[in-house]
Amino acid sequence: MENRPNPAAMRPAVRYPADKTLEDLRQKVHALLDDRMASRFELLRAEWFYDLALLINDFRLWMQRLDQSFDRFQ
């Protein structure tokens, strides 16, 4: 049988505190949703930036978890 690492023994990825930039983008999207005079392009752009920031943050957490799995072999 192969000597595979136990996934349950892996340390969880360390979550960073909420990023101010991410929170600012979320608040901007909600403000534009409430503003009846905001253009659709403004709202779409704000939502796109917020979604991109979330995606990058999730990718960072995934890479951190991947790096931790390699730390076990040292």
User: Per-residue pLDDT for 1 more than 50?
Assistant: no
Answer whether 13's CB lies under 8 Å from 61's CB: yes
Residue-averaged pLDDT of the chain = 79
Would you say residue 71 has pLDDT above 80? no
Most confident of 1-5, 12-16, 44-48, 53-57: 44-48
Which whole-number Å values give the CA distances from 28 to 16, 22, 43, 47, 52, in the listed order? Answer: 22, 10, 9, 9, 14
The pLDDT, as a whole number, for residue 36 is 87
Which DSSP state fits 35?
-
pLDDT digits (tens, 9 = 90+) for 9-39: 555 555 555 678 888 999 999 999 999 898 9
